[in-house]
């Protein structure tokens, strides 16, 4: 699911204009039972196949490659799913799942679906959240097709044009500097959880200010957003508590924005919610329910992807010190570096599509109503699309001819509305790192990832930031309570 949208996007074979891992996982192949099960059914009805560690994961073998079993939803491998993606992608382009949809593993097939109006994005709730009312999972234009998608997108797209985003640059630069000031304090060195000290407050503050949500409300907005972001994952993979948490967050979000809209009707301001409220009041384009769902969508989508981009990007630099050294010596690579970060460790790992009518994909016939899950994380490392795709290379999008466009921000009419803003936020984080001359050291041997599948990202990222030549002893005695973003308890 792409979490931002807009009307146009660059050709799939060209990169955007320059404006701006870990230990190997276990094998992704197992020997399933000799008999082939029936067609994919809901998880509870699907015969289990044993994983290498002996735990059942619910995936069934397939007639044309029965020796390969691919469980893209196995949390054990979520810290590094890429070795399993590589095995699956090399084996075949499509994998059945107990969710009743096929996983699409290769770049060419994913790109084709994204740009083909035979495939609809209006049915993700039907595929992943059957029976869930829209009040419990508001998504607005995110899960719509034209003409409603076109109408609603057009009302908000002007807030995310390159010109509008460029005008935000001074504010984002100030915010980035303030956040780094809090991390390194006055002695040019500091320790922080990047998630809580930088990756969350930066994009959340930017999108909240753009929409018109007061700063005092940001903690509630973050809490509700996290619950909804987890709730975008397929319902069979959520706990009852997570499903209830999603519903509760959605209700509180809607109530919050209903009150904010009423306030902005009485006291309009220079923000997006005032503009949407004015349009809705005229009654000719937008209903109140559409305004509410759009506000929720923009708030959640406008920062959750960027949280993962910032954290994944900094982690990639830490794990590839040669590339960070290259960036420090060649700051003109900042914009291409952002593109490589988006490709290498995608903050959005998958999206869905449903066939409007009978069609073919990768040699298989799909009937109207059949669904697929496009694995961006796999497609972005497809060797048929990218040279040495497992290599983190900051020059990839600076070379000629240009590298193929990654799919992280999708393609076609659902191309990411917030792409320019997300790129700018990451670019300014990198420029501030370079301006301060900071080095980064990872403070843990075992990273904790959130349970999210659609919006895959880290739960925490403890890092020491310091300037070369600053003695490590300067950090001694500061105590964990003095480390920005780290819980002193």
Give residues with Cβ within 8 angstroms of 353, minimum separation 6: 113, 114, 119, 120, 121, 371, 372, 374
Given a contact cutoff of 8 angstroms between Cβ atoms, the answer to whether 43 and 99 are in contact is yes
Q: Which helix (H) or strand (E) holds 103?
A: strand 101-104
State the CB neighbour count (10 A cutoff) for residue 412.
Answer: 18
Outline where DSSP puts E strands in 29-172.
94-96, 101-104, 119-120
Let me know if 301 is a catalytic residue.
yes
Query: DSSP letters of 380-417?
Result: TT-TTTSSSTTS--TTGGGSSSPPPPPSTT--GGG--T
What is the DSSP code (8-state) at residue 81?
A: -
Residue among 20, 348, 26 at smallest CA distance from 166: 20
Select which of 120, 306, 346, 460 is catalytic: 306
Q: CA of 158: how far to CAs of 5, 293, 398, in Å?
A: 12, 18, 29
Cα–Cα dist 418/194, whole Å: 22
Cα–Cα dist 375/387, whole Å: 19
Residue among 18, 49, 46 at smallest CA distance from 33: 49
Select which of 335, 416, 419, 484 is catalytic: 416
Radius of gyration of the chain (CA): 22
Let me know if 425 is a catalytic residue.
yes
* Residues composing the chain: 489
Select which of 304, 339, 340, 427 is catalytic: 304
What is the DSSP code (8-state) at residue 17?
A: P
State the CB neighbour count (10 A cutoff) for residue 416.
Answer: 24
Select which of 124, 425, 427, 466 is catalytic: 425
371-375 and 439-442 beta bridge pairing:
unpaired
Let me know if 17 is a catalytic residue.
no
Let me know if 295 is a catalytic residue.
no
Residue 409 region, left (φ>0) first, then alpha (ψ -120 to 50), else beta? alpha
- Residue 258 tokens read as 């209903």
Let me know if 26 is a catalytic residue.
no
Given a contact cutoff of 8 angstroms between Cβ atoms, the answer to whether 6 and 420 are in contact is no
Catalogue the active-site residues: 301, 304, 306, 416, 425
């Amino acid at each position: 699911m792409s979490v931002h949208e807009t009307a146009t996007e660059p050709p799939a074979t060209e990169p955007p204009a320059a404006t701006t891992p870990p230990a190997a996982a276990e094998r992704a192949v197992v020997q399933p039972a000799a008999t082939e099960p029936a067609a994919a059914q809901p998880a509870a009805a699907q015969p289990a196949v044993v994983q290498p560690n002996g735990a059942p994961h619910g995936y069934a073998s397939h007639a044309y490659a029965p020796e390969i079993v691919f469980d893209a939803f196995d949390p054990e491998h979520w810290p590094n799913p890429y070795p399993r993606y590589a095995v699956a992608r090399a084996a075949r382009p499509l994998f059945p799942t107990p969710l009743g949809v096929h996983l699409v593993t290769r770049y060419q097939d994913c790109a084709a679906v994204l740009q083909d109006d035979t495939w609809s994005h209006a049915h993700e709730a039907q595929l992943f959240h059957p029976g869930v009312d829209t009040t419990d999972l508001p998504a607005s234009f995110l899960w719509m097709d034209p003409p409603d998608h076109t109408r609603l997108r057009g009302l908000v797209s002007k807030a995310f044009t390159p010109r509008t985003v460029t005008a935000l640059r001074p504010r984002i630069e100030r915010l980035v500097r303030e956040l780094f000031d809090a991390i390194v304090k006055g002695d040019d060195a500091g320790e922080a959880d990047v998630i809580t000290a930088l990756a969350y407050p930066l994009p959340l503050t930017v999108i909240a200010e753009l929409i018109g949500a007061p700063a005092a409300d940001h903690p509630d907005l973050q809490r509700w957003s996290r619950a909804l972001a987890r709730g975008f994952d397929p319902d069979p993979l959520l706990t009852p508590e997570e499903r209830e948490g999603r519903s509760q967050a959605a209700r509180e979000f809607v109530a919050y924005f209903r009150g904010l809209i009423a306030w902005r009707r009485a006291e309009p301001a220079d923000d997006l919610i005032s503009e949407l409220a004015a349009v809705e009041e005229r009654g000719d384009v937008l209903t109140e329910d559409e305004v509410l769902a759009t506000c929720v969508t923009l708030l959640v989508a406008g920062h959750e992807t960027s949280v993962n981009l910032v954290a994944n990007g900094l982690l990639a630099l830490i794990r590839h010190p040669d590339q960070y050294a290259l960036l420090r010596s060649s700051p003109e690579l900042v914009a291409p570096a952002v593109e490589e970060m988006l490709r290498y460790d995608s903050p959005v790992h998958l999206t869905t599509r449903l066939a409007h009518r009978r069609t073919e994909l990768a040699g298989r016939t799909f009937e109207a109503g059949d669904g697929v899950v496009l694995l961006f994380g796999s497609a972005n490392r497809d060797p048929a699309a990218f040279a040495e795709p497992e290599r983190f290379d900051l020059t990839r999008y600076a070379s000629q001819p240009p590298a193929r466009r990654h799919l992280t921000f999708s393609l076609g009419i659902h191309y990411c509305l917030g792409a320019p803003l997300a790129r700018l936020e990451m670019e300014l984080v990198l420029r501030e790192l370079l301006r301060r001359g900071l080095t980064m050291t990872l403070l843990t041997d075992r990273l904790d990832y959130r349970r999210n599948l659609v919006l895959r990202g880290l739960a925490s990222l403890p890092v020491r930031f310091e300037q070369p030549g600053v003695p490590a002893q300067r950090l001694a005695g500061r105590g964990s309570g003095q480390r920005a973003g780290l819980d002193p308890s």
